[in-house]
Structure 1
Amino acid sequence: MKILVVSDTHGRERNLERVLEKVAPVDALIHLGDVEGHEDYIECLAGCPAYIVSGNNDFFSDLPREREIQLGNYKALLTHGHYYGVSMGTERLEEEGRVRGVQIVMYGHTHRPLIEQLEDITILNPGSLSYPRQIGREPSFLIMEIDRKGEAHYTINYLKN
């Protein structure tokens, strides 16, 4: 199973289109917020099940604030992260994930990619395809693959211009 995880496109989908062309086919698309009204276009573009949550810039959106979904043998919490103060660290998000009994927490908001594998929980942030903030400022996304044994593997990828 191959899952594309993105965040913070902010209404600029050209890079998402490029990523989908590059990594297709995918079994699911996860968008962790700040779609700015383009959720219908993103769902159509995905061509597979799409799980989208609202971000702090998704004003007047009907998107859910958070979602819990099953990915293979893993239960995942999807959130934009701003309600958990992720700009200051992931501690509150980790705690929430443990309380909910999930194995994976995915968030956006910081525009910085992260894979943090702890003993009992994995914290993931794909960064931003539109406004990256990490060193080098390259648009980033994450691929989650679940192998034949049911084990998850994660890679941060960069979209070269």
Structure 2
Amino acid sequence: MANYTLIVMSDSHGNPSVVEEIKARYQGQVTGIFHNGDSELASNLPVWEGIQVVRGNCDGEGYPDRLVTQFAGLTIAQTHGHLYLINFMWDRLYFWAQEEGADICLYGHLHQATAWQEGKTVFINPGSVEQPRGPVQEKLYARVEVDDERIKVDFYTLDHQLYPALSKEFSR
């Protein structure tokens, strides 16, 4: 039985300390750590060692626009979202996730924590660890637990407290 734990953050907008703190808390204890862009940090900084990171619309060069990460039995498609026009439609992001055979599609850009499923793919926006938007004005990141039967998404505050109102669980 495959069990994975993922930590997902996004939109840290020039705050390296929040990225470093989340990384220090989880590195070596989880399967993977992901940052969905708009860090506004240089791509060659040591903080990115051990983190899967993509370029957001506020980032410079040196980051990939998208990544596909595979663990045995799990495919994760990751992008910031702006290149897929997610402010206006979901079709492009959805079709890319399907092309990649993604079990999980990670994105950012909107600064709003949410998780939803379309087809077999669970889409996760961890919110923003620096500038939240929308109805939930809490700086959040996501913890994703995956096994052979389910994908559980929980959101946490920067003091690592569960924000239970947004928790969701999906069948695989």
Shorter-chain TM range is: 0.7 to 0.9
Tell me which residue corresponds to 1:128: 128
Judge conservation of contact 1:138–1:160 (CA < 8 Å) in 2.
no
Cα distance in 1 for partners of 2:136, 2:59 equals 27
Amino acid at match of 1:11: G
1:3-152, aligned counterparts within 5 Å? 3-20=6-23, 25-39=29-43, 40-44=45-49, 49-59=50-60, 61-147=61-147, 149=148, 151-152=150-151
Deviation at 1:36, TM superposition (A): 1.2
Cα distance in 1 for partners of 2:101, 2:119 equals 13
Cα distance in 1 for partners of 2:24, 2:47 equals 14
Cα deviation digits, residues 96-130 of structure 1 (max 9, x gap): 11122222211000111110023321111101000
Cα distance in 1 for partners of 2:91, 2:152 equals 22
Cα distance in 2 for partners of 1:151, 1:64 equals 29
Cα distance in 2 for partners of 1:74, 1:26 equals 15
- CA RMSD after TM alignment: 2.3
Judging changes above 3 Å, is the alpha-carbon distance between structure 1 residues 103 and 146 closer, same or farther for their aligned structure 2 residues? closer
Judging changes above 3 Å, is the alpha-carbon distance between structure 1 residues 140 and 150 closer, same or farther for their aligned structure 2 residues? same
Aligned pair count? 155
Cα distance in 1 for partners of 2:74, 2:39 equals 25
- Unmatched segments (≥5 aa) in structure 1: none
Deviation at 1:156, TM superposition (A): 2.0
Amino acid at match of 2:8: V
Question: Normalising to structure 1: TM-score of the pair?
Answer: 0.83
Deviation at 1:131, TM superposition (A): 0.4
- Unmatched segments (≥5 aa) in structure 2: 161-172
